Amino acid sequence: MKHFPVQVLMVLMCCFPVFGGEATAVDSKITIDGSTTVGPIAKAFAEYFMNRNPQLKITVAESGSGNGAKSLVNATCDIADMSRFMKNEEIKAAVDKGIIPVSHVVAMDGIAMIVHPANPVKNLSLDEITGIYLGKITTWKELGGPDEKIVVISRDTNSGTYEAFEELALKKQKMTNSVEYVGSNGAVRQRIQSTVGAIGYVGLGFIDNTVKAISVAGIEPTRETIVSGKYPIARPLFMFTNGYPKLGSDVYQFVTFNFTLKGQEIIDGLGYVAVTQYQK
């Protein structure tokens, strides 16, 4: 027993194979960087592309829209994911370096306001929504509903949905600190369906019949109203490339993948709104 374990250890150690790194030849490579909102789409696309073509290597980083633009300007990425359009300075910096940023809209980001099904309120103006989230409106009575305190639910400050909501609905004003934060679109829905006085916002894909989506300024959140630009809490999501990619190239296929049926399915599945409307 005295030296038995040690010898077993030695044997075990000898069993470890020596790993030799033999790099598999990579035919082509796409580097993607940028927004955390567009990131999930890019990742899902990348997964699909790499499954179909093992020779293709795609890396997706999510460092924020600004960093995506910077990477494109410095030519360290092929595609920059951005949840906003490039700013003037960014375009100028790019052109100065001989890079021509070209935008591709891959999807729309539409945010629906949801309440409990028992809530009689059907429509809110953008100002009323702002008022609720800034803490100026605190009961449903003020909005024509029952005498019930409003439980305001938000996504955590990490999420792209939060960022978009803050920008589009609140115009970058400070949310009141009595807002409750939850970690995912599904969790928002869960809290709304179990809380009578709650209001929250989710990506369009997360609406189901357990919650009620309300109209904003009289416009219902649907694919049509979002794609046509009528619904106010929506924004396009971009991928930027340096010049228009060569037709048929991997990058070209990637940034136009959203026009295919599979691309539409992926985008809808992630809770975003595809610009195409194929019938399945």
Partner 1 sequence: MASESMNEIERFQDGNARFLSHNKTTFQIDRREELHNKFFSFLGRSFLLGVTTISSLAVLFIFFFILRDSILFFQQRDIREFFFSTQWFPSRDPSEFGAGAIFWGSFLVTAGACAFAIPIGIMTAVCLSDILPFSARQILKPLIEILAAIPSVAYGFFALVVIAPLLQERGGQVLSYLIWLLGAPLAIFFLIIGEMSADKLFPKAKTAANFIITGALILLEFLVLYTLSRHIFLFKISSGTNALNASFILGIMILPTIVSVSEDALQSIGRELREGSYALGATRAETLLLVVIPAASPGILSAVILGIMRAVGETMVVWMASGNSAKIPDPCFNFFEPIRTLTATIAGDMGEADHVSGSMRYHVLFAMAACMLIISFSLNIASEWIMKRTRKKVTGE
Site residues for partner 1 per CB under 8 A: 1-11, 36, 63-64, 67, 148-149, 151, 156-158, 162-163, 166, 172, 174-175, 177-183, 187, 190-191, 194-198
Q: Scanning the structure block, which residue is given the tokens 């592309």?
A: 49
- Residue placing its CB nearer to partner 1 in the complex, 124 or 175: 175
Structural contact between residues 255 and 106, judged by C-beta atoms closer than 8 angstroms: yes
- Residue placing its CB nearer to partner 1 in the complex, 136 or 174: 174
φ, ψ of residue 58 to 5 degrees: the values are: -120, 125
- Residue placing its CB nearer to partner 1 in the complex, 172 or 280: 172
- Nearest distance, CB of residue 5 and partner 1, angstroms: 7
Relative to beta strand 212-216, strand 101-115 is: antiparallel
Can you tell me the distance from the alpha carbon of 236 to that of 227, in angstroms, rounded to the nearest whole number? 9
- Nearest distance, CB of residue 37 and partner 1, angstroms: 12
- Residue placing its CB nearer to partner 1 in the complex, 126 or 151: 151
User: Residue 150: helix, strand or coil by DSSP?
Assistant: coil
Can you tell me the distance from the alpha carbon of 200 to that of 225, in angstroms, rounded to the nearest whole number? 20
- Residue placing its CB nearer to partner 1 in the complex, 193 or 260: 193
Q: 255, 235, 236, 233: which is closest to 244 by C-alpha?
A: 255
User: Residue 182: helix, strand or coil by DSSP?
Assistant: strand
- Nearest distance, CB of residue 209 and partner 1, angstroms: 18
- Nearest distance, CB of residue 57 and partner 1, angstroms: 21
- Residue placing its CB nearer to partner 1 in the complex, 80 or 273: 80
- Residue placing its CB nearer to partner 1 in the complex, 4 or 19: 4
As a residue count, the chain comes to 280
- Nearest distance, CB of residue 102 and partner 1, angstroms: 26
- Nearest distance, CB of residue 32 and partner 1, angstroms: 16
Q: Where are the alpha helices (DSSP H) in the chain?
A: 4-15, 39-52, 65-73, 88-96, 126-133, 160-168, 185-194, 223-227, 250-255, 261-269
- Nearest distance, CB of residue 200 and partner 1, angstroms: 12
Can you tell me the distance from the alpha carbon of 41 to that of 62, in angstroms, rounded to the nearest whole number? 11
